[in-house]
Amino acid sequence: MPATSMGHCLTTLPSLRDALEVVSGKWKLLILVALATGHQRFRDIERSIPGISSKVLAKELKDLEQHQLIRRTVQEGPPVLVTYEVLPYADSLDPVIFALRDWGKNHRKKIMGPAVEA
């Protein structure tokens, strides 16, 4: 590998690692999409994402909050109401989400044949 390519690679890896840490796993982007489509309460988010467990959802919501992509709000009173919302900073992931969606559609067609619609 040429020195310039290696240098570029070494300067790119930390940023890529940071990005992957934020969106890694199979749930975080799905949670952001669920929140963006109006699901704000824990159980609503959980119901909108088939296969996610309560424990995993709680952990992923906490991670997304730490990365300042969502906000958790607790409204006191009987009953206590906890809601989640996407913060404007999360909009910066839209091009990534759309690119992954498009790539996934194309990949599905490639693997399963052109008759398959995503």
Q: How far apart are CA 99 and CA 88, in angstroms?
A: 19
Could you report the per-residue pLDDT of 36-69, keeping only the tens digit for each?
Answer: 998 899 999 999 999 999 999 999 999 999 999 9
Specify the pLDDT at position 6: 62
Domain chopping of the chain, boundaries: 26-112
Q: In the CATH hierarchy, which top-level class contains the domain 26-112? A: mainly alpha
Phi/psi for 69 (5° steps) reads -100, -25
- Residue 108: how many CB atoms within 10 A of its CB? 13
- Taking the whole predicted model, whether its pTM rises above 0.85 is answered as no
Could you report the per-residue pLDDT of 1-32, keeping only the tens digit for each?
Answer: 455 566 667 777 888 888 888 888 889 999 99
Task: Give me the mean pLDDT over the 63-88 stretch.
Answer: 94
- Residue 36: how many CB atoms within 10 A of its CB? 15
DSSP of 36-64: HTT--BHHHHHHHSTT--HHHHHHHHHHH
Specify the pLDDT at position 12: 78
